[in-house]
Homo-oligomer: A and B are copies of this chain.
Amino acid sequence: MAGDAGFAETRGRLLSAALEVFAERGYRAATFKEICGRAGTNPAAINYHFRDKLHLYLAVIEQGLAELQRRSDILDDDPTAPPRQRLRHFIGAVFRRLIGQESPSALLRLMACEMVEPTAGLDVIIQRAFLPAFEHLCGIIADLSGRRPDDPITKDCALSVFGQCVFFHHARPIISKIKYPKYDLPVLEHLIEHTFRFVEAGIRAVAGQEAVRFGTAQIECTS
């Protein structure tokens, strides 16, 4: 039984190894040698199972997205809960995804690579991973601010919220040298709490109804 791999198992090992390597090195810098080294296969196995480097990559994304949808705690909240609580839940879920060590987090590391070095896979990721989460977030912000979900200001706020979350993942090499050498659980909870309070206020200031009345006026007379 051991040593007797079988089609699906080899394919699976390749996918896992490729996910790791692509997430670590990016598309171009990832090599067959390293992927197959981790998967314990011959380099030609990739072409056999996936035809191409590109198709392997797309398969990796596909699998990551599937796993993402299977246990998606981001979108899975109680729509009747108060919006503040839903926002906090959302931010917590995104942080845990980005920072946590579980497999689906690699997909987000991969997304980070796509930003620097866009690929044919970016569209798929945007359509099936980013957009659903983004629209969900817009809904929460809409509830919070009283605006419509497709209001441009709502979208601006949603981007800001995402920016906060992604940055703490993305800039980790820098952040680790400045403040948080490690993202252990207490730090994680602290960051979630901080971000929640920060963006909640931001949303209220920019998108809240009172913002329309006072906010802008204030800005314009001071700057």
> Which chain A residues have a beta carbon within 8 Å of chain B's beta carbons?
25-26, 28-29, 82, 84-85, 88, 112-118, 122-123, 126, 130-131, 134, 152-153, 155-157, 159-160, 162-164, 166-168, 170-175, 177-179, 191, 193-206, 211, 215-216, 219, 222-223
Contacts and interface: CB of A to CB of B under 8 A. Distances in A.
B175 A168 contact: no
A130 B199 contact: no
A54 B116 CA distance: 20
A177 B223 CA distance: 31
Q: Mostly helix, strand, loop or mixed at chain A's interface?
A: helix
Nearest to A196: B219
B168 A167 contact: no
A177 B117 contact: no
Contact of A157 (B123, B152, B198): B198
A63 B169 CA distance: 28
Contact of A84 (B122, B171, B179, B222): B222
Given A130-B174, A198-B206, A85 B162 contact: no
A73 B215 CA distance: 26
Nearest to A118: B173
Contacts of A29: 26, 28-29, 117
A126 B171 CA distance: 11
A171 B178 contact: no
A32 to B, nearest CB: 14
27 contacts: A25-B28, A29-B29, A85-B222, A112-B115, A115-B116, A115-B170, A115-B171, A115-B172, A115-B174, A116-B116, A116-B117, A126-B178, A156-B179, A156-B198, A159-B179, A162-B167, A163-B163, A163-B168, A163-B171, A164-B164, A166-B170, A166-B171, A194-B206, A196-B219, A200-B205, A201-B205, A201-B206
